[in-house]
Structure formats: structure tokens, C-alpha cells
Amino acid sequence: MTETPPSATEIVEQCAAGDTSPGAEVARSLAAIEARDPELNAFSVVLANEAREQARFLGIGQGDTRRPLYGVPVAIKEELDVAGCVTTFGGRGNSTPAAADCEVVRRLRDAGAIIVGKTAMSEFGAFPYTESVARGHTRNPWRTSFSPGGSSGGSAVAVASGMVPVAMGGDGGGSIRIPSACCGLFGLKPQRGRVTSSPHAHLWWALGVTGALTRTVLDAAIVNDVIRGHLPVDRWRAGEVGSFSEAAGREPGRLRIGWSTKPPTKGIRPHADHMSAVRDTARLLSDLGHEVHEIDPHYPDTTAAFLPQFFAGIRSEAREVEHYERLERRTRESYRLGSWVTPKVIDAALRSTTRVSAKANRVFDTVDVLLTPTMAQRPPRLGILDRTGTVRASLRSLPAVSYAALWNVAGNPACSVPSGTGTDGLPVGVQLVGPTDGEEVLFSLAAQLEQARPWPLVAPSPL
């Protein structure tokens, strides 16, 4: 039987009560990493000495216990700068350690979080599976011959296996929601511009945003409250909203919820397990008192908006690495294939993004929340990216990103909520999408689902 480690919320409460300490929680996390990570390959770097020193510093002075993440071990995806660590973006292109924390990591530390390491990702997060030449395959803790999804797969595995209660990810086409669905976690992509991208002006132009992967909705709400807020450098800025933590603690009220299993991408067929999960969740939401009905979202075509930003994102990150020649063959191929993406093409793509957002958001004229599958396919076996070039890898990725990527283009907040297991014994997630600046309603509704249909807090130990 797998021991259930404490949530971030419980760690903060227990530290305040004197029942545990930052040092004890770091020791617990490092022991779990030592025991589980050799098999799972979630961490690219473990900062054991640094974490112990930060825990010792936090233990000086009782006033620190009022911080919202006091004593909580947190893992950081490789695309975010952590002082003293090379920001690898999942590859071998960089060799110089970052001189300073990025703003998100700084905010986490200020809130009392302890950084225990960095997590694996596909190079530049280009594809939704955590496989790379630099790190090999990251394994799903539910069944280790299967993928945890990606690109924030290392973060998902670190949380789902109980190594940490919180890990940071990034989502430019589903990269928080997809691994959350594959690993049985709650993962929210915030509204575009909700979280600073500093020191960068943007993350793949209008597509990317930073967020958390957690085992509980309240933990995610607390972390998102900590990291939210823009800086002058940010190109995108979200609207004003209230406390996410408070939203997770209150009833959502009676909502109009539209559900659909229709794929936004032509030619994609959702797996029967995902269709069943959406219908089961729709019935549960109806039983909870919501007005629930099937709808046709009339999805717009995102191709002209998404593809240029995808290639431009790879090209801009590839240009900034210290050793271009060390990048994966597929990444260098993607760089060449994206040569047509000029500044004028990017400007046109951003104009298309505005049109797509307007069309996609028409669904919220008649519903408060949209319910869909998080992804169309089941978690694939390891090696799905092996020996693939850009085109084949992209085609293999379509069933994973189909339902998710639209909302990166539109900018809306969207989350994956655990909804049981499939016929293969692996987790299934459903996606809740909110209107612009609608994170509060998503946190309230997801917390209600969590209470009505609790999910496992860690992956059960494989037989």
C-alpha cells in the first residue's frame, strides 16, 4: 500500500502547529526521490544540499510559518531559471548556470517554498511526451512502461509518485493538462498573462503560460495565488480576479455547463474511455445541481494562429542556446522547417489569435463552463517519439493536444480534473474550460468535483 504524503496545505498547517518542520519535509521529499526516481526518471537535477540549507534557514524564526507555502518542497520544470542551475530546456544546448531565479521561482521562495530540484521535459517542450536524447524516457508511475505525457511530464511524475506535493510546469499546447490527465493530477493552465514570463516578454508568443501540477485543487489555488501577477516586461496581461484560494473553498453555485466530446481537430477520434469520462462527469455535475447539457462548441480552426507560434517558439529558443549543435536532430529540423516564420508572419498569427479567441469564446454566451476530454488518446507506451522527425512527431502528438491547444490560442483558463481510471488501468482526466479570466469558477467547480468524487493522491505502487 502506497503511503499518502501530506499535501502542501497540510505541510503548512503542520509546520505552523509544530508537528513537522521544513527540514523534516525536505528529508521526506529527498528520501522519496532517492527511492522512486531511479526508476521513474522525473528529476534532471536534485538540489539536496541547497534544499537542506534553505530548510535550515526557514527554521530560524517562527514568523515564517505564516507564509502560504512555508516548508513545502517544490520541483521546477527545466524551462524555468533556478539560480546556480543550467536551464537546459530538456536538452544539451546550454552549459552556463543561471545567475538568478526567474520571477516565478523567486515568488515561490518568498512564499516559503523549498526548491528540491528540476524536472525532465521534452526538448523545448515541443511535443507532449517526456522523452529526450539528454534524459531518456520519463515513466508513468501508474504503469512504468507508459508515458506520463508532457511536456511537463517530469513535474507530473514527481507529484503523482509522492516525491513532492507541488511541481511547476509550463503549458503552450496542453503541457500542464496532458501530463496531469496521464498521471491522475489536477493541473490548471491559467489565463494568458496571469503569471509573469519574466525575464522573458512572452512564452512562445501568445501560447505559453506557467502553472502548477498538484494532487489537490486547494494546493493549486494557493500556488497560483503566489505566482500570479505581471511585470513591465510581460507582453500579455490578464484581467483582475479575486483570490483563487478562497474560490477553491466556496461552492460554485448553480452553473450552466455545456459538455462535448467533439474534437476541435478534424480526423481525431477520442478514445471510448475519454468519452465515458465526460459523460460520467456530466451526470455527476447534474446530480450536484448544475444545468448540464450537450452542446456543439463550433470550434474555430487554429492552424493559422498556432503553427507559426509553435515554430517561432522553437526558433527563438534555439537561437538563444549556447551550443546549437548539441540540440536534438529533430529540434534542428524543426528550426529549419520554421524558416518561413518571419516577423510579418508572427504578426499575422497574432491577429489570427485574436480572431480565434473571439470565435472560441462565443460558447460562453450560453454556458459558464465547457466540459470536454483533456486528450483524445490514452497514455501511449514509452518511445512514441523514438526515431521520429518533426512531421511524424507532430502527427503522433495530435491526439494528445487536440482538445487542449485551442485554449492556448484563445487564452482562456482550462484545467484537467481526474475522473477515474480507464480500461488500461491508467488515469483519465476531463477538461474544464472557463471564460476569459474565469479561473475562480474553475477552482470552485473542480473543488466540488474533488469532494464529490475523490481521486487517489498518489499513484498506487505497481504490482
Coil, helix or strand for 269? coil
Which of these, 51, 171, 203, lies nearest to 433 by C-alpha position? 171
Q: Cell for 456?
A: 487517489
Burial 363-378 (b: 16+ CB within 10 A, else e): bbeebbbbbbbbbbbb
Q: In Å, how far are 52, 162, 222, 255, 457 from 214, measured between CA atoms?
A: 22, 10, 10, 25, 9
Instruction: Give every CB contact of residue 421 below 8 A, 6+ residues apart in sequence.
Output: 184, 427, 428
Q: Point out the catalytic residue in the list 175, 197, 416, 419.
A: 175
Coil, helix or strand for 64? helix
Q: Point out the catalytic residue in the list 7, 147, 151, 197.
A: 151
- How many CA within 13 A on the CB side of residue 62? 4
Amino acid, single-letter form, for residue 242: G
Say how far apart CA 343 and CA 172 lie, in whole Å.
20
Strand partners, 210: 170
Q: Is residue 77 annotated as part of the catalytic site, yes or no?
A: yes
| The dihedral sign for the CA sequence 285, 286, 287, 288 | positive
CA-based R_g, the chain, Å: 20
Q: In Å, how far are 394, 415, 429, 434 from 191, measured between CA atoms?
A: 25, 11, 20, 9
Q: Is residue 95 annotated as part of the catalytic site, yes or no?
A: no
Q: Point out the catalytic residue in the list 29, 77, 147, 276.
A: 77
User: Catalytic residue positions?
Assistant: 77, 151, 175
